[in-house]
Amino acid sequence: MHSIQDVMTRNVQTIAPDASVQDAARLMRDHDIGDVVIADQSGVKGILTDRDIAIRCVAEGLEPMDTSCIDICTIDLMTIRPDDELDDAVQMLREHAVRRLPVVDGSMAVGIVSIGDLALELDRTSALADISAARPNH
């Protein structure tokens, strides 16, 4: 069985906790990603997704340029280590109903593993694997 480091996305994008939500949205746009890890020199503080921006910022009437990432990100964070097994990630995703897990080595983010990454590795014929492998449509 492969480990998380074999399937994770390695070029994880991080942003400071006090950075604006607008900066995070631009980072997501520029890297064609749906999440950023909130981190500082002491380590991972949370994760912010495009859905968080829509639901916790825009829908609540907050100004993206005046709202800090730490104010709307998920801070009750599930993480996984690079040497953990894929089955561990599947169990965590199911148990906690999340779509992504930051991969941490010590306290530092070294990657992200998503439900799509796992589908590509464990069930290549699934619809989720097909969607995850598809080119962006923008």
pLDDT of 127 over the 70 cut: no
In the chain the domains, ranked by start, together with CATH numbers, are 4-133 (3.10.580.10)
pLDDT band at 67 (very low <50, low <70, confident <90, very high): very high
| Full-model pTM | 0.85
63: left (phi over 0), alpha (psi -120 to 50) or beta: beta
Per-residue pLDDT of 93-126, as tens digits, reads 889 988 899 999 998 999 999 888 787 766 655 5
Would you call 105 helix, strand, or coil by DSSP? strand
In the chain, the percentage of residues whose pLDDT exceeds 90 is 68
Q: What percent of the chain has pLDDT over 70?
A: 86
Neighbours of 29 (CB within 10 A): 11
When pLDDT is averaged across residues 24-50 and rounded to a whole number, the result is 95
Q: State how far the Cα of 18 lies from the Cα of 48, in Å rounded to an integer.
A: 13
